[in-house]
Amino acid sequence: MRIDIVTIFPTFFDVLDISLLGKARTTGLIELGVHDLRDFTHDRHRTVDDTPYGGGAGMVMKPEPWGEALDAVLDGASTGGADPVLIFPSPAGEVFTQAMARELAAESHLVFGCGRYEGIDQRVIDANALEELSIGDYVLSGGELAALVVLDAAVRLLPGVMGAADSATEESFAGHLLEYPHYTRPAEWQGRRVPDVLLSGHHAAVAAWRLAEAERITRERRPDLWATYRAAPVARPAGSP
């Protein structure tokens, strides 16, 4: 998968050198280009913003650097036929879900346009058919962290990134259940014991306990997911009855 990011803060994406996404890069599973929007300006001050038409607070990102940056990124990388998907993180976008992560993981080229200030001139969004996407109902100061969230969720689904262990977890969320609690050694820590059933070696009992806990936690914390699960309990935690 090819991933291009346009931003005025390229160093935000230094974190892509570490952890899962870093490994996906070094193993060649993803190819990443981070582009500084200011490299597509032509004035001495490398200006990317201007005052809003119609007045009001804040600044708006100028269309010309965005036009040139997106053109450069789209000409530069032909990823064998499939159209690139252009994503513009925005509080006004459709709310990002695991289903969308799965769809993005099936694409061969993702381009993220990260806005700042009050946002980007609307004509850039219209002209390039950018897909506006929000990571949730809270206000960030720009699109960079949202792009990182979307990238992490999509890239970990690529074959070869996580290994088989996690595919069941992915399914459990698709099945609208939250995770059951996890424990590791020691069997007692600060006076707290691991539930006996997990030490019993009784696989069916362990699976039944995990399902019951996943259901209890979902019911208590997420009535919305619980309702969906009750309507169609599609995927149970790995090994459940």
Q: Which is nearer to ligand JD8, 113 or 175 (CB)?
A: 113
* Residue among 109 and 116 whose Cβ is closer to ligand JD8: 116
Smallest gap from Cβ 139 to ligand JD8, in A, equals: 5
Segments in the chain forming alpha helices (H): 19-26, 63-76, 98-105, 122-127, 144-155, 167-174, 203-221, 223-231
Q: Is 100 among the residues that bind ligand JD8 (CB under 6 A)?
A: no
Total of residues contacting ligand JD8 (CB under 6 A): 18
Q: Single out the segment in contact with ligand JD8 by CB under 6 A; choices: 9-17, 33-41, 128-136, 204-212.
A: 128-136
CB of 83 or CB of 118, closer to ligand JD8: 118
CB 127, min distance to ligand JD8, A: 18
CB 31 within 8 A of CB 3: yes
Candidates 33, 63, 67, 91: give the one binding ligand JD8 (CB under 6 A): 91
Nearer to ligand JD8, 33 or 93 (CB): 93
Stretch that binds ligand JD8, among 129-137, 162-170, 175-183, 195-203 (CB under 6 A): 129-137
Q: Applying CB under 6 A, which part among 17-25, 73-81, 87-95, 208-216 lies near ligand JD8?
A: 87-95
Q: What number of CA atoms fall less than 13 Å from residue 120's CA on the CB side? A: 30
Q: Does 57 bind ligand JD8 (CB under 6 A)?
A: no
Characterize the bridge pairing of strands 85-95 and 109-113: parallel
**DSSP character at residue 180:** P
CB atoms within 10 A of CB 25: 17
Instruction: Identify which of residues 53 and 138 has a Cβ nearer to ligand JD8 in the complex.
Output: 138
* Of residues 9 and 173, the one with the C-beta less far from ligand JD8: 9
The first and second tokens of residue 115, run together, are 């806005």
Q: In a 10 Å sphere around its CB, with 0-12 CB exposed, 13-18 middle and 19+ buried, how is residue 24 labelled?
A: buried
Smallest gap from Cβ 130 to ligand JD8, in A, equals 11
Give the integer Cα–Cα distance in Å for 100 and 20: 20
Count helices and strands (H / E) in the chain.
8, 9
Q: Helix, strand, or coil here: 4? A: strand
Main-chain dihedrals φ then ψ at residue 224, nearest 5 degrees: -65, -50
Which 133-172 positions form the footprint of ligand JD8 (CB under 6 A)? Answer: 134-136, 138-143, 146
Indicate the residue among 95 and 238 with the shorter CB distance to ligand JD8: 95
CA–CA separation, 170 and 173 (whole Å): 5
The residues that touch ligand JD8, with contacts defined as CB under 6 A, are: 89-91, 93, 115-116, 118-119, 134-136, 138-143, 146
